[in-house]
Structure 1
Amino acid sequence: MKRLSALFVTLLTAAGLHAGEVQVAVAANFTAPMQQIAADFARDTGHKAVLSFGATGKFYAQIVNGAPFEVFLAADDTTPARLEKEGHAVPGSRFTYAVGKLVLWSAKADFVDAKGDVLKGGNFNKVSIANPKTAPYGAAAVETLKKLNLLDAVQPKFVQGENISQTLQFVHTGNADLGFVALSQVFKDGKLNGGSAWIVPGEFHEPIYQDAAILAKGKDNAAATALLAYLKGDKARAVIRSFGYDLR
Protein backbone atom coordinates (compact mmCIF):
# COMPACT_ATOMS: atom_id res chain seq x y z
CA MET A 1 0.00 0.00 0.00
CA LYS A 2 2.84 2.37 0.90
CA ARG A 3 4.54 1.56 -2.41
CA LEU A 4 1.32 2.35 -4.31
CA SER A 5 0.94 5.65 -2.44
CA ALA A 6 4.55 6.58 -3.19
CA LEU A 7 4.02 5.76 -6.87
CA PHE A 8 0.89 7.92 -6.98
CA VAL A 9 2.75 10.87 -5.45
CA THR A 10 5.58 10.39 -7.95
CA LEU A 11 3.14 10.41 -10.85
CA LEU A 12 1.45 13.56 -9.57
CA THR A 13 4.82 15.27 -9.14
CA ALA A 14 5.87 14.31 -12.65
CA ALA A 15 2.59 15.63 -14.06
CA GLY A 16 3.10 18.89 -12.18
CA LEU A 17 6.60 19.27 -13.57
CA HIS A 18 5.30 18.91 -17.10
CA ALA A 19 2.30 21.20 -16.61
CA GLY A 20 2.66 24.55 -18.30
CA GLU A 21 0.96 27.88 -18.77
CA VAL A 22 -0.19 29.53 -21.98
CA GLN A 23 -1.19 33.14 -22.58
CA VAL A 24 -4.33 33.23 -24.74
CA ALA A 25 -5.95 36.16 -26.56
CA VAL A 26 -9.65 35.36 -27.02
CA ALA A 27 -12.27 37.18 -29.09
CA ALA A 28 -14.86 38.66 -26.73
CA ASN A 29 -17.77 36.70 -28.22
CA PHE A 30 -16.10 33.47 -27.09
CA THR A 31 -15.74 34.51 -23.43
CA ALA A 32 -18.21 32.13 -21.77
CA PRO A 33 -17.35 28.97 -23.73
CA MET A 34 -13.61 29.59 -23.40
CA GLN A 35 -13.86 30.04 -19.64
CA GLN A 36 -15.54 26.64 -19.43
CA ILE A 37 -13.08 25.03 -21.83
CA ALA A 38 -10.08 26.48 -19.95
CA ALA A 39 -11.37 25.00 -16.69
CA ASP A 40 -11.81 21.59 -18.33
CA PHE A 41 -8.40 21.92 -19.99
CA ALA A 42 -6.75 22.55 -16.61
CA ARG A 43 -8.45 19.57 -14.99
CA ASP A 44 -7.75 17.22 -17.88
CA THR A 45 -4.17 18.21 -18.73
CA GLY A 46 -2.74 20.13 -15.80
CA HIS A 47 -1.94 23.05 -18.10
CA LYS A 48 -3.25 26.51 -17.28
CA ALA A 49 -4.68 28.81 -19.95
CA VAL A 50 -4.42 32.47 -18.92
CA LEU A 51 -7.19 34.24 -20.80
CA SER A 52 -7.50 37.81 -22.07
CA PHE A 53 -10.69 38.91 -23.87
CA GLY A 54 -11.17 41.69 -26.38
CA ALA A 55 -11.74 42.77 -29.97
CA THR A 56 -9.97 40.82 -32.70
CA GLY A 57 -8.65 43.95 -34.42
CA LYS A 58 -7.19 45.34 -31.21
CA PHE A 59 -5.52 42.01 -30.45
CA TYR A 60 -3.94 42.07 -33.90
CA ALA A 61 -2.36 45.45 -33.15
CA GLN A 62 -1.12 44.24 -29.76
CA ILE A 63 0.35 41.03 -31.20
CA VAL A 64 2.31 42.75 -33.97
CA ASN A 65 3.61 45.19 -31.36
CA GLY A 66 5.03 42.41 -29.18
CA ALA A 67 2.26 41.47 -26.74
CA PRO A 68 3.14 38.22 -24.94
CA PHE A 69 0.24 36.16 -26.30
CA GLU A 70 1.02 32.60 -27.38
CA VAL A 71 -2.35 31.47 -28.74
CA PHE A 72 -4.98 33.55 -30.52
CA LEU A 73 -8.67 32.68 -30.81
CA ALA A 74 -10.00 35.25 -33.26
CA ALA A 75 -13.53 36.17 -34.28
CA ASP A 76 -12.62 35.79 -37.95
CA ASP A 77 -10.35 33.78 -40.22
CA THR A 78 -8.63 36.67 -41.98
CA THR A 79 -6.74 38.07 -38.97
CA PRO A 80 -4.96 34.80 -38.03
CA ALA A 81 -4.16 34.27 -41.73
CA ARG A 82 -2.66 37.75 -41.88
CA LEU A 83 -0.62 37.12 -38.74
CA GLU A 84 0.71 33.90 -40.25
CA LYS A 85 1.63 35.66 -43.50
CA GLU A 86 3.47 38.36 -41.54
CA GLY A 87 5.41 35.82 -39.47
CA HIS A 88 3.53 36.33 -36.18
CA ALA A 89 1.76 32.94 -36.19
CA VAL A 90 3.09 29.40 -36.59
CA PRO A 91 2.49 28.14 -40.16
CA GLY A 92 0.04 25.25 -40.33
CA SER A 93 -1.37 25.79 -36.84
CA ARG A 94 -4.51 27.64 -37.96
CA PHE A 95 -7.91 25.97 -37.92
CA THR A 96 -11.57 27.01 -37.56
CA TYR A 97 -12.66 26.28 -34.00
CA ALA A 98 -16.18 27.74 -34.34
CA VAL A 99 -18.59 29.30 -36.81
CA GLY A 100 -20.32 32.25 -35.21
CA LYS A 101 -23.92 33.38 -35.46
CA LEU A 102 -25.13 36.98 -35.31
CA VAL A 103 -28.31 37.78 -33.39
CA LEU A 104 -30.40 40.90 -32.87
CA TRP A 105 -31.23 40.80 -29.17
CA SER A 106 -33.20 42.81 -26.64
CA ALA A 107 -33.36 42.34 -22.89
CA LYS A 108 -37.11 42.98 -23.20
CA ALA A 109 -39.37 40.00 -23.79
CA ASP A 110 -41.37 40.14 -27.03
CA PHE A 111 -39.54 43.27 -28.22
CA VAL A 112 -37.65 41.60 -31.07
CA ASP A 113 -39.82 39.56 -33.44
CA ALA A 114 -38.76 36.32 -35.12
CA LYS A 115 -38.04 38.07 -38.46
CA GLY A 116 -36.28 41.19 -37.19
CA ASP A 117 -39.02 43.48 -38.46
CA VAL A 118 -38.52 45.66 -35.37
CA LEU A 119 -35.68 47.27 -37.32
CA LYS A 120 -38.11 48.43 -40.03
CA GLY A 121 -40.58 49.90 -37.56
CA GLY A 122 -37.93 52.07 -35.91
CA ASN A 123 -39.71 51.96 -32.55
CA PHE A 124 -36.50 51.83 -30.53
CA ASN A 125 -34.23 54.46 -29.11
CA LYS A 126 -30.78 53.01 -29.82
CA VAL A 127 -29.25 49.87 -31.31
CA SER A 128 -25.84 48.77 -30.10
CA ILE A 129 -23.23 47.47 -32.50
CA ALA A 130 -19.58 46.50 -32.10
CA ASN A 131 -17.00 48.63 -33.89
CA PRO A 132 -17.07 47.18 -37.42
CA LYS A 133 -13.43 48.18 -37.98
CA THR A 134 -12.12 45.94 -35.19
CA ALA A 135 -14.92 43.47 -34.40
CA PRO A 136 -16.08 40.95 -37.05
CA TYR A 137 -19.55 40.75 -35.50
CA GLY A 138 -19.87 44.51 -35.93
CA ALA A 139 -18.89 44.16 -39.59
CA ALA A 140 -21.50 41.40 -39.99
CA ALA A 141 -24.15 43.67 -38.44
CA VAL A 142 -23.37 46.41 -40.96
CA GLU A 143 -23.56 43.86 -43.81
CA THR A 144 -26.95 42.72 -42.49
CA LEU A 145 -28.37 46.23 -42.40
CA LYS A 146 -27.12 46.87 -45.93
CA LYS A 147 -28.77 43.64 -47.07
CA LEU A 148 -32.04 44.86 -45.55
CA ASN A 149 -31.58 48.35 -47.07
CA LEU A 150 -31.82 49.76 -43.56
CA LEU A 151 -28.31 51.04 -42.85
CA ASP A 152 -29.07 54.71 -43.60
CA ALA A 153 -32.22 54.62 -41.47
CA VAL A 154 -30.72 52.79 -38.49
CA GLN A 155 -27.16 54.21 -38.41
CA PRO A 156 -28.16 57.45 -36.60
CA LYS A 157 -29.35 55.28 -33.71
CA PHE A 158 -26.07 53.37 -33.33
CA VAL A 159 -24.38 53.04 -29.96
CA GLN A 160 -20.97 51.61 -30.75
CA GLY A 161 -19.18 49.20 -28.44
CA GLU A 162 -15.44 48.73 -28.39
CA ASN A 163 -16.04 44.98 -28.60
CA ILE A 164 -18.96 42.58 -28.56
CA SER A 165 -18.98 42.35 -24.74
CA GLN A 166 -19.45 46.10 -24.37
CA THR A 167 -22.08 45.97 -27.10
CA LEU A 168 -24.08 43.46 -25.07
CA GLN A 169 -23.60 45.54 -21.93
CA PHE A 170 -25.25 48.53 -23.61
CA VAL A 171 -28.40 46.46 -24.08
CA HIS A 172 -28.27 45.02 -20.55
CA THR A 173 -28.01 48.50 -19.00
CA GLY A 174 -30.76 50.01 -21.14
CA ASN A 175 -28.47 52.34 -23.07
CA ALA A 176 -29.87 50.59 -26.15
CA ASP A 177 -33.19 48.87 -26.67
CA LEU A 178 -31.57 46.21 -28.81
CA GLY A 179 -28.21 45.23 -30.22
CA PHE A 180 -26.40 43.03 -32.69
CA VAL A 181 -24.45 40.55 -30.58
CA ALA A 182 -23.09 37.02 -30.79
CA LEU A 183 -25.67 34.27 -30.25
CA SER A 184 -23.26 32.64 -27.79
CA GLN A 185 -23.65 35.60 -25.43
CA VAL A 186 -27.40 35.10 -24.95
CA PHE A 187 -27.79 31.39 -25.65
CA LYS A 188 -26.89 28.26 -23.68
CA ASP A 189 -27.90 24.61 -23.96
CA GLY A 190 -30.41 25.18 -26.72
CA LYS A 191 -32.33 28.09 -25.27
CA LEU A 192 -32.27 31.86 -25.02
CA ASN A 193 -31.20 33.29 -21.67
CA GLY A 194 -34.07 35.76 -21.40
CA GLY A 195 -35.18 38.64 -23.58
CA SER A 196 -36.15 38.30 -27.23
CA ALA A 197 -34.09 37.70 -30.35
CA TRP A 198 -33.86 37.29 -34.08
CA ILE A 199 -31.10 34.99 -35.28
CA VAL A 200 -29.80 36.66 -38.42
CA PRO A 201 -29.85 34.29 -41.42
CA GLY A 202 -26.35 33.34 -42.50
CA GLU A 203 -26.92 34.60 -46.06
CA PHE A 204 -27.27 38.18 -44.77
CA HIS A 205 -23.53 38.45 -44.11
CA GLU A 206 -20.22 36.76 -44.80
CA PRO A 207 -19.70 33.55 -42.76
CA ILE A 208 -18.16 34.21 -39.36
CA TYR A 209 -15.40 31.59 -39.42
CA GLN A 210 -13.47 31.91 -36.17
CA ASP A 211 -9.89 30.67 -36.44
CA ALA A 212 -7.34 29.80 -33.79
CA ALA A 213 -3.58 29.79 -34.21
CA ILE A 214 -0.42 29.32 -32.23
CA LEU A 215 1.47 32.60 -32.24
CA ALA A 216 5.21 32.94 -32.75
CA LYS A 217 5.79 33.45 -29.03
CA GLY A 218 4.10 30.10 -28.33
CA LYS A 219 5.83 27.92 -30.92
CA ASP A 220 7.98 26.14 -28.31
CA ASN A 221 5.34 26.04 -25.57
CA ALA A 222 3.90 22.56 -25.09
CA ALA A 223 0.87 24.04 -23.31
CA ALA A 224 0.03 26.09 -26.41
CA THR A 225 0.17 23.00 -28.63
CA ALA A 226 -1.89 21.07 -26.08
CA LEU A 227 -4.56 23.77 -25.98
CA LEU A 228 -5.13 23.76 -29.73
CA ALA A 229 -5.29 19.98 -29.71
CA TYR A 230 -7.81 20.15 -26.86
CA LEU A 231 -10.00 22.60 -28.80
CA LYS A 232 -10.26 20.01 -31.57
CA GLY A 233 -11.43 17.30 -29.14
CA ASP A 234 -14.97 16.10 -28.57
CA LYS A 235 -15.28 17.60 -25.09
CA ALA A 236 -14.41 21.14 -26.17
CA ARG A 237 -16.48 20.85 -29.34
CA ALA A 238 -19.52 19.86 -27.26
CA VAL A 239 -19.09 23.00 -25.15
CA ILE A 240 -18.74 25.16 -28.27
CA ARG A 241 -21.88 23.66 -29.78
CA SER A 242 -23.82 24.19 -26.54
CA PHE A 243 -23.37 27.97 -26.91
CA GLY A 244 -25.00 27.98 -30.33
CA TYR A 245 -21.94 27.90 -32.57
CA ASP A 246 -21.72 25.72 -35.63
CA LEU A 247 -18.65 23.58 -36.30
CA ARG A 248 -16.80 22.85 -39.50
Structure 2
Amino acid sequence: MKLNQLITLFGFLCLAEASAAEVHVAVAANFAGPIEKIAAAFERDTGHKLSVAVGSTGKFYAQIHAGAPFEVLLAADDETPKKLVGEGIAIAASEFTYARGTLVLWSAKPGLIDAHGAVLKNGTYAHLAICNPKLAPYGLAAVETMKALGLYESLKPKLVEAENIAQTYQFTATGNAELGFVALSQVIPLGSKTHYWVVPENLHTPIQQDAVLLKKGEANPAAAAFLKYLRGEAARAVILSYGYRI
Protein backbone atom coordinates (compact mmCIF):
# COMPACT_ATOMS: atom_id res chain seq x y z
CA MET A 1 0.00 0.00 0.00
CA LYS A 2 1.35 3.42 -0.93
CA LEU A 3 2.19 6.05 1.65
CA ASN A 4 -0.66 8.38 0.64
CA GLN A 5 -3.13 5.48 0.89
CA LEU A 6 -1.85 4.63 4.36
CA ILE A 7 -2.24 8.24 5.43
CA THR A 8 -5.81 8.32 4.09
CA LEU A 9 -6.71 5.06 5.82
CA PHE A 10 -5.19 6.26 9.09
CA GLY A 11 -7.22 9.45 8.79
CA PHE A 12 -10.44 7.50 8.31
CA LEU A 13 -9.68 5.30 11.32
CA CYS A 14 -8.94 8.31 13.50
CA LEU A 15 -12.16 10.00 12.37
CA ALA A 16 -14.19 6.89 13.11
CA GLU A 17 -12.61 6.57 16.54
CA ALA A 18 -13.21 10.24 17.29
CA SER A 19 -16.87 10.12 16.26
CA ALA A 20 -17.64 6.91 18.20
CA ALA A 21 -18.94 7.52 21.69
CA GLU A 22 -20.45 5.68 24.64
CA VAL A 23 -23.92 6.20 26.07
CA HIS A 24 -25.10 5.08 29.52
CA VAL A 25 -28.61 3.66 29.37
CA ALA A 26 -30.89 2.61 32.25
CA VAL A 27 -33.24 -0.13 31.01
CA ALA A 28 -36.35 -1.56 32.65
CA ALA A 29 -35.80 -5.22 33.56
CA ASN A 30 -38.58 -6.53 31.30
CA PHE A 31 -36.64 -5.21 28.30
CA ALA A 32 -33.40 -7.07 29.11
CA GLY A 33 -33.76 -9.53 26.22
CA PRO A 34 -34.49 -7.01 23.47
CA ILE A 35 -31.86 -4.50 24.61
CA GLU A 36 -29.14 -7.13 24.34
CA LYS A 37 -29.91 -7.66 20.66
CA ILE A 38 -30.57 -3.99 19.94
CA ALA A 39 -27.32 -2.95 21.62
CA ALA A 40 -25.28 -5.34 19.49
CA ALA A 41 -26.93 -4.12 16.29
CA PHE A 42 -26.60 -0.46 17.31
CA GLU A 43 -22.90 -0.84 18.02
CA ARG A 44 -22.37 -2.69 14.75
CA ASP A 45 -24.31 -0.15 12.68
CA THR A 46 -23.14 3.10 14.30
CA GLY A 47 -19.84 2.40 16.04
CA HIS A 48 -21.22 3.86 19.27
CA LYS A 49 -21.17 1.78 22.45
CA LEU A 50 -23.99 1.15 24.91
CA SER A 51 -23.31 0.81 28.61
CA VAL A 52 -26.50 -0.82 29.87
CA ALA A 53 -27.83 -1.12 33.42
CA VAL A 54 -30.96 -3.26 33.91
CA GLY A 55 -33.30 -2.86 36.88
CA SER A 56 -36.58 -1.55 38.19
CA THR A 57 -37.89 1.79 36.95
CA GLY A 58 -38.56 3.01 40.48
CA LYS A 59 -34.98 2.38 41.57
CA PHE A 60 -33.62 4.07 38.47
CA TYR A 61 -35.73 7.13 39.26
CA ALA A 62 -34.15 7.34 42.70
CA GLN A 63 -30.65 6.74 41.32
CA ILE A 64 -31.06 9.44 38.68
CA HIS A 65 -32.04 11.89 41.42
CA ALA A 66 -28.99 10.76 43.38
CA GLY A 67 -26.70 11.67 40.48
CA ALA A 68 -26.28 8.34 38.64
CA PRO A 69 -24.51 8.87 35.30
CA PHE A 70 -27.39 7.66 33.10
CA GLU A 71 -27.98 9.57 29.88
CA VAL A 72 -31.04 7.71 28.58
CA LEU A 73 -33.88 6.00 30.44
CA LEU A 74 -35.96 3.19 28.95
CA ALA A 75 -38.71 2.98 31.55
CA ALA A 76 -41.38 0.35 32.13
CA ASP A 77 -44.01 3.09 32.29
CA ASP A 78 -44.76 6.53 30.89
CA GLU A 79 -45.17 8.29 34.23
CA THR A 80 -41.54 8.18 35.35
CA PRO A 81 -40.15 9.87 32.19
CA LYS A 82 -42.87 12.52 32.47
CA LYS A 83 -41.94 13.16 36.11
CA LEU A 84 -38.29 13.55 35.15
CA VAL A 85 -39.25 16.00 32.40
CA GLY A 86 -41.38 17.97 34.86
CA GLU A 87 -38.50 18.08 37.31
CA GLY A 88 -36.14 19.45 34.67
CA ILE A 89 -33.98 16.32 34.62
CA ALA A 90 -35.05 15.04 31.17
CA ILE A 91 -35.73 16.58 27.76
CA ALA A 92 -39.45 16.87 26.98
CA ALA A 93 -39.12 16.71 23.19
CA SER A 94 -37.20 13.44 23.37
CA GLU A 95 -39.88 11.36 25.13
CA PHE A 96 -41.68 8.68 23.12
CA THR A 97 -43.28 5.27 23.60
CA TYR A 98 -40.85 2.59 22.48
CA ALA A 99 -43.03 -0.39 23.47
CA ARG A 100 -46.31 -1.44 25.05
CA GLY A 101 -45.81 -4.33 27.43
CA THR A 102 -48.00 -7.37 28.06
CA LEU A 103 -48.51 -8.96 31.47
CA VAL A 104 -48.82 -12.75 31.66
CA LEU A 105 -49.39 -15.32 34.36
CA TRP A 106 -46.74 -18.01 33.96
CA SER A 107 -45.58 -21.22 35.59
CA ALA A 108 -42.56 -23.42 34.96
CA LYS A 109 -44.71 -26.37 35.97
CA PRO A 110 -46.30 -28.00 32.89
CA GLY A 111 -50.09 -28.07 32.79
CA LEU A 112 -50.65 -25.70 35.69
CA ILE A 113 -51.73 -22.67 33.65
CA ASP A 114 -55.13 -22.71 31.94
CA ALA A 115 -56.36 -20.57 29.05
CA HIS A 116 -58.39 -18.19 31.22
CA GLY A 117 -56.33 -17.73 34.36
CA ALA A 118 -58.81 -19.70 36.47
CA VAL A 119 -55.85 -21.29 38.26
CA LEU A 120 -55.56 -18.08 40.31
CA LYS A 121 -58.85 -18.86 42.03
CA ASN A 122 -59.18 -22.61 41.71
CA GLY A 123 -55.63 -23.94 41.50
CA THR A 124 -53.62 -25.55 44.26
CA TYR A 125 -50.46 -23.55 44.82
CA ALA A 126 -48.62 -22.00 47.75
CA HIS A 127 -46.81 -19.03 46.22
CA LEU A 128 -47.50 -16.38 43.58
CA ALA A 129 -44.59 -14.13 42.58
CA ILE A 130 -45.01 -10.48 41.65
CA CYS A 131 -42.55 -7.61 41.46
CA ASN A 132 -42.70 -4.69 43.89
CA PRO A 133 -45.74 -2.65 42.78
CA LYS A 134 -44.20 0.51 44.27
CA LEU A 135 -41.13 0.24 42.04
CA ALA A 136 -42.17 -1.79 39.01
CA PRO A 137 -45.14 -1.07 36.71
CA TYR A 138 -45.58 -4.78 35.95
CA GLY A 139 -46.02 -5.36 39.69
CA LEU A 140 -48.63 -2.62 39.85
CA ALA A 141 -50.42 -4.16 36.87
CA ALA A 142 -50.41 -7.53 38.65
CA VAL A 143 -52.00 -6.02 41.77
CA GLU A 144 -54.58 -4.19 39.66
CA THR A 145 -55.40 -7.47 37.88
CA MET A 146 -55.95 -9.35 41.11
CA LYS A 147 -58.15 -6.54 42.44
CA ALA A 148 -60.16 -6.44 39.21
CA LEU A 149 -60.77 -10.19 39.58
CA GLY A 150 -61.75 -9.75 43.22
CA LEU A 151 -58.90 -12.01 44.36
CA TYR A 152 -56.34 -9.66 45.85
CA GLU A 153 -57.25 -10.04 49.53
CA SER A 154 -57.49 -13.82 49.32
CA LEU A 155 -54.18 -14.10 47.45
CA LYS A 156 -52.20 -11.73 49.69
CA PRO A 157 -50.88 -14.56 51.93
CA LYS A 158 -49.47 -16.32 48.86
CA LEU A 159 -47.65 -13.34 47.36
CA VAL A 160 -43.87 -13.43 47.05
CA GLU A 161 -42.60 -9.94 46.24
CA ALA A 162 -39.52 -9.57 44.06
CA GLU A 163 -37.44 -6.45 43.53
CA ASN A 164 -38.04 -6.36 39.79
CA ILE A 165 -39.54 -8.39 36.96
CA ALA A 166 -36.27 -10.27 36.35
CA GLN A 167 -36.26 -11.55 39.91
CA THR A 168 -39.97 -12.40 39.62
CA TYR A 169 -39.15 -14.56 36.63
CA GLN A 170 -36.30 -16.20 38.56
CA PHE A 171 -38.57 -17.05 41.51
CA THR A 172 -41.07 -18.67 39.14
CA ALA A 173 -38.54 -20.41 36.91
CA THR A 174 -36.87 -22.09 39.88
CA GLY A 175 -40.20 -23.25 41.31
CA ASN A 176 -39.84 -21.21 44.48
CA ALA A 177 -43.18 -19.77 43.38
CA GLU A 178 -45.51 -22.03 41.39
CA LEU A 179 -47.04 -19.04 39.62
CA GLY A 180 -45.72 -15.63 38.67
CA PHE A 181 -46.94 -12.47 36.97
CA VAL A 182 -44.16 -11.75 34.48
CA ALA A 183 -43.69 -9.99 31.15
CA LEU A 184 -44.60 -11.71 27.89
CA SER A 185 -41.15 -10.72 26.60
CA GLN A 186 -39.58 -13.02 29.20
CA VAL A 187 -41.47 -16.18 28.25
CA ILE A 188 -41.62 -15.81 24.46
CA PRO A 189 -37.98 -16.96 24.10
CA LEU A 190 -38.99 -20.25 25.78
CA GLY A 191 -41.02 -21.18 22.70
CA SER A 192 -44.00 -23.49 22.45
CA LYS A 193 -42.87 -25.64 25.38
CA THR A 194 -44.12 -23.10 27.91
CA HIS A 195 -47.69 -22.10 28.76
CA TYR A 196 -49.02 -18.84 30.09
CA TRP A 197 -52.19 -16.76 30.37
CA VAL A 198 -52.09 -13.38 28.65
CA VAL A 199 -53.79 -11.00 31.06
CA PRO A 200 -56.47 -8.91 29.29
CA GLU A 201 -55.36 -5.29 29.22
CA ASN A 202 -58.74 -4.11 30.53
CA LEU A 203 -57.86 -5.64 33.91
CA HIS A 204 -55.03 -3.17 34.55
CA THR A 205 -53.55 0.15 33.51
CA PRO A 206 -51.91 -0.22 30.07
CA ILE A 207 -48.17 -0.78 30.34
CA GLN A 208 -46.93 2.02 28.11
CA GLN A 209 -43.14 2.09 28.17
CA ASP A 210 -41.48 5.41 27.35
CA ALA A 211 -37.91 6.36 26.56
CA VAL A 212 -36.43 9.75 27.37
CA LEU A 213 -33.15 11.61 27.00
CA LEU A 214 -31.79 12.78 30.35
CA LYS A 215 -30.06 16.12 30.73
CA LYS A 216 -26.74 14.34 31.33
CA GLY A 217 -26.91 12.96 27.80
CA GLU A 218 -27.98 16.16 26.07
CA ALA A 219 -24.49 16.88 24.72
CA ASN A 220 -23.67 13.29 23.82
CA PRO A 221 -24.30 12.52 20.12
CA ALA A 222 -24.38 8.79 20.90
CA ALA A 223 -27.40 9.30 23.17
CA ALA A 224 -29.38 11.04 20.43
CA ALA A 225 -28.23 8.42 17.93
CA PHE A 226 -29.42 5.60 20.17
CA LEU A 227 -32.90 7.08 20.64
CA LYS A 228 -33.15 7.55 16.89
CA TYR A 229 -32.03 3.95 16.34
CA LEU A 230 -34.60 2.71 18.85
CA ARG A 231 -37.34 4.17 16.65
CA GLY A 232 -35.95 2.61 13.48
CA GLU A 233 -37.01 -0.53 11.65
CA ALA A 234 -34.22 -2.78 12.94
CA ALA A 235 -34.99 -2.06 16.60
CA ARG A 236 -38.75 -2.21 16.06
CA ALA A 237 -38.43 -5.67 14.53
CA VAL A 238 -36.63 -6.91 17.63
CA ILE A 239 -39.19 -5.29 19.95
CA LEU A 240 -42.12 -6.88 18.11
CA SER A 241 -40.41 -10.29 18.15
CA TYR A 242 -40.55 -10.24 21.95
CA GLY A 243 -44.32 -9.79 22.04
CA TYR A 244 -44.43 -6.06 22.63
CA ARG A 245 -46.77 -3.78 20.76
CA ILE A 246 -45.66 -0.42 19.36
Q: CA deviation at 1:10?
A: 3.1
Identity %: 56
Alignment of 1:117-156 (within 5 A): 117-156=118-157
Q: CA deviation at 1:13?
A: 2.7
Change (3 A) 1:205 1:16: same
Alignment of 1:1-150 (within 5 A): 2=2, 7-150=8-151
Partners of 1:94 and 1:214 within 8 A in 2: yes
Q: CA deviation at 1:4?
A: 5.7
Give the aligned residue type for 1:55.
S
1:186 aligns with 2:172: no
Q: Deviations over 1:2-53 (max 9, x none)?
A: 4666544432331121000011100000001001101110000000010001
Q: CA deviation at 1:218?
A: 0.6
In the aligned structure 2, how far is the partner of 1:97 from the partner of 1:5? 43
Could you tell me which residue of structure 1 aligns to residue 240 of structure 2?
Answer: 241
Structure 1's unaligned 5+ residue stretches are: none
In the aligned structure 1, how far is the partner of 2:202 from the partner of 2:219? 40
Q: CA deviation at 1:122?
A: 3.5
Q: 60-69 or 12-21: which moved more?
A: 12-21
TM-score by length of 1: 0.95
Partners of 1:103 and 1:200 within 8 A in 2: yes
Change (3 A) 1:192 1:146: farther
Is the helix fraction higher in 1 or 2? 2
Change (3 A) 1:121 1:57: same
Partners of 1:106 and 1:179 within 8 A in 2: yes
In the aligned structure 1, how far is the partner of 2:202 from the partner of 2:19? 46
TM-score by length of 2: 0.96
In the aligned structure 1, how far is the partner of 2:41 from the partner of 2:110? 34
In the aligned structure 1, how far is the partner of 2:205 from the partner of 2:196? 20
SS at match of 2:92: coil
Structure 2's unaligned 5+ residue stretches are: none
In the aligned structure 2, how far is the partner of 1:9 from the partner of 1:163? 47
Q: CA deviation at 1:224?
A: 0.5
Aligned structure 1 segments of 4 or more residues deviating by more than 2 angstroms:
1-13, 191-195
Partners of 1:186 and 1:194 within 8 A in 2: no
SS at match of 2:94: coil
RMSD: 1.4
In the aligned structure 2, how far is the partner of 1:214 from the partner of 1:83? 10
